[in-house]
Amino acid sequence: LGYMVGCSSIPSYSSDYSQARNNTQGVMLDELKAQQIGLNFTSAFNTLGTPEFIKNTSALYAEQLYINDTLSQFSKRNSLIEHFEGMNKRVSNVSVTLLNTAYHNDSAYVHWHMAYDFKIFGTTRSMASSGLSEIRVDENNKIIFQQDFWDPANGLYRSLPYVSGAYSWLLPFKKSS
């Protein structure tokens, strides 16, 4: 019962996403521009687990933004980069493949596949997941809006030792500014 009461304070992902999507205007896209956004995105994330990753992602994102990666939400680049620094210490052997891109108005839809090794509880696990990221960029080609759509229960949680299915139930949605 205590856990259920605590759930009431979890922010509303759907409301935040709708508000950010309605209030964030990116540059209008064409097929070539959407493809370039996908290439920039996957190229930066292919350096995850290396010293270059923080520099690459710092250059990828605008100072003020909306990003929801399904597990966490951010509105400032500094908070996002701090999150990435923690991820960078736990991940190695990353391979991010751009599967395809599409666009509508100012949104690029980037379909990707990511495989990586993840260190947790003193062990390293090989993991993989596929997803789609809706991305909007400003006139400087910096990401100002990103909503990731992927299944963490399939792509991450099932690979975690000890916790697997229970982990997704226990992990609350994290929102940071």
Whole-prediction pTM value? 0.80
| E strand or H helix at 31 | helix 31-45
Query: How far is Cα 108 from Cα 115, in angstroms, rounded to an integer?
Result: 22
Write down the pLDDT at residue 125: 85
Over residues 14-64, the pLDDT tens digits come to 788 888 888 999 999 999 999 999 999 999 999 999 999 999 999 999 999
- Residue identified by tokens 């509303």 is 12
CB 146, CB 134: distance < 8 Å: yes
Cα 134 to Cα 50: distance, rounded to the nearest angstrom: 25
Q: Which residue in this structure is represented by tokens 């759907």?
A: 14
Min mean pLDDT across 46-50, 68-72, 81-85 is at 68-72
- Residues 120-161: tens digit of each pLDDT: 878 888 888 899 999 999 999 999 999 999 876 554 544 545
Dmax (CA) for the chain in angstroms is: 52
Higher local confidence (pLDDT), 16 or 68? 68
User: pLDDT tens-digit profile of 1-12?
Assistant: 344 444 434 456
At residue 119 the predicted structure's pLDDT band, cuts being 50, 70 and 90, is confident
- For the cut 70, the answer to whether the pLDDT of residue 176 exceeds it is no
